[in-house]
Amino acid sequence: MPRVLNLQAPYNVYIEERDDVPLYYFITDQGIKYTISLIKSPEFEGYPFGLNLYEISFLPDKISHFHDPKVKETIVAFILHFFQNKENILLFITDQSDGKHHARKKLFNIWKKKYDNKNRFTKLDVIFENESIGIYYISLIYHNNNPFSELIPYALGQGLQNYKGSK
């Protein structure tokens, strides 16, 4: 049975447990269901902050050409709720399946600038290029009061060096 998260968002965000994995979603005024996934990322398992690293994605169940600003407001409210735990780290990898990955990166940067007016978060950006899969834009966001805030950029740099060294 889904329950409503207590967020200050224009749309109710529901949480439903499936196989011990939380599923988040909201439904717009146009009837579009957006699923928000938070998946534990194994990228930095060896680091003390690795248990709090989550990859986020948000997907509509159908395409709409109607611009609904409440979608953005709801997703931002969800992300701010996520960071109530200052040890959480968010990993955002742009989807490139439709060729709009550069626009998504740009939009994410705009949201960060607009909603982090108190500079509570650090956002690290990486452009990941691979001959076989193309370009991915990756962002790592964490609260400035994260106890591992000094270690996170180092770990990201080490991870990239390790990847490049294995090619």
Judge contact between 11 and 19, C-beta under 8 A: no
| Nearest-angstrom CA–CA distance, 124 and 128 | 13
Q: What is the pLDDT of residue 34?
A: 95
Residue 165 has pLDDT above 50, yes or no: no
Q: Give the pLDDT confidence of 49-83 residue by residue, as tens digits.
A: 888 999 888 899 998 888 999 999 999 999 999 99
What is the pTM for the complete model shown?
0.85
Place of tokens 């000094």: 150
Give 3-165's CATH code, choosing from 3.90.1690, 3.40.630, 2.60.120, 2.60.40.
Answer: 3.40.630
Confidence of residue 36 (pLDDT cuts 50, 70, 90): very high
Q: Give the pLDDT confidence of 90-135 residue by residue, as tens digits.
A: 988 776 666 666 677 777 777 778 777 788 999 988 887 777 767 7
β-pairing verdict for 53-60 and 89-93: parallel
Q: Give the pLDDT confidence of 20-31 residue by residue, as tens digits.
A: 778 899 999 999
